[in-house]
Amino acid sequence: MSEENEMSRYAKKLEEIEQKVVAQQLEKLEKMQEEHFKQIAEDALKIHYELPCSKRYADWKERFDDRQKRLIQNCIEYANGDPAGLPGHQLMLIIAVMAEILDK
């Protein structure tokens, strides 16, 4: 075999090895990146759920119009008073509890 052919064969072998090494490094980087993004997502969810409802849903009252806000406030006042069991009694208690939970 000529020296030139042998050099060409070694060059091809070296190129194959370099390609394998680069492919392995890329695979490792992709796995690291995937794990990193997964950790970021987990951290974000953890932070979200560690926040009290009042921080997570701070704007919940803004989703209601003025009349609905007054009705919610009426439910809170009704529940905190001495409810007599008027029609809608359970609904008013549920709304009051919901509002209290969202404000915590």
- Every domain of the chain and the residues it spans: 1-50, 54-103
Each residue's pLDDT tens digit, 1-36: 577 788 788 888 888 899 998 999 999 988 888 888
The CA–CA distances, whole Å, from 96 to 5, 49, 57, 69, 73 equal 86, 22, 16, 12, 8
* Overall pTM > 0.95: no
Query: Rounded to 5 degrees, what are φ and ψ at 91?
Result: -60, -45
Give residue 66's pLDDT.
92
pLDDT tens digits along 37-50: 888 888 888 877 78
